Amino acid sequence: MNEQLTQIYGYLHGMWRYRWSALVVTWLVAILGWILVFSLPDQFSAKAVVYVDTSSVLKPLLKGLAPETDTRDELQIMTRVLLSRENLMTVVRETDMDLEVNSTAQKEALVEGLAGAIKITGGGSGKRWEKASKVYEIAFQSDSANRAYQVVSKLLNTMIEDTLNSTRTDTVTAQKFLDTQIAE
């Protein structure tokens, strides 16, 4: 016990002896840390969490006739549709990103960069939404808060419009199918 008290006393004596050196080092580290933090660029992130019923109106009618799709396949299909070149060009036009580029090569690079920056997760493939297989998250990160919001908003609007059009088409197809079945 005496040895431990002596050792603690030695540490306290050393700390008191070099207190001014420690204070100077602490201030230098703090100032350098502040400079580093203030030099980092701002990053803004926008996310939209949406429930998507990927099953169509025809699913109950075609049960046993057509193979079932996996939720991962549905996520891949939804991702391909949302990140298609046509949809991304629409997002670029509607968010005025195309005003920043001059050539078609730069526009192509912008579209490819946008496709890589948009993250779509969910549908049972991510840890966060494992149990909720029809909940998807669309995320985008940018140096502009307005741009991040606009990109996610435009993608969400595109998805909603495509879903509504698909639902209308599925309803018409289901109605025709039922009419032909009744006629037979």
**Which of 70-79, 91-100, 152-161 bottoms out in mean pLDDT, i.e. has the lowest?**
70-79
Residue 118 has what pLDDT?
A: 92
Running DSSP on this structure, what letter comes out for residue 11?
H
Average pLDDT value for residue range 18-26: 93
Residue 57 has what pLDDT?
A: 42
* Kind plus residue range of the DSSP H or E element containing 180: helix 145-183
Write out pLDDT tens, residues 78-120: 778 888 888 899 899 888 888 888 888 898 899 999 999 999 8
Whole-angstrom distance, CA of residue 151 vs CA of residue 83: 12
For the beta sheet containing 119-122, the strands, ordered from the edge strand earlier in sequence to the opposite edge, are: 44-51, 135-142, 119-122
- Mean pLDDT, all residues of the chain: 81
For residue 71 the two structure tokens come to 């939720």
pLDDT at residue 132 greater than cutoff 50: no
Write out pLDDT tens, residues 50-64: 877 655 544 554 455
- pLDDT above 70 covers a percentage of the chain that reads 79
* Contact assessment for residue 45 and residue 118, using Cβ atoms and an 8 Å cutoff: no
For residues 122 and 108, which has the higher predicted lDDT (pLDDT)? 108
**Which of 32-41, 59-68, 115-124, 148-157 bottoms out in mean pLDDT, i.e. has the lowest?**
59-68
Residue with tokens 């502009």: 144
How many of the other CB atoms lie within 10 Å of CB of 92?
Answer: 20
By CB atoms closer than 10 A (0-12, 13-18, 19+), residue 91 is buried
* Contact assessment for residue 75 and residue 123, using Cβ atoms and an 8 Å cutoff: yes
Whole-angstrom distance, CA of residue 111 vs CA of residue 106: 9
* Contact assessment for residue 159 and residue 107, using Cβ atoms and an 8 Å cutoff: no
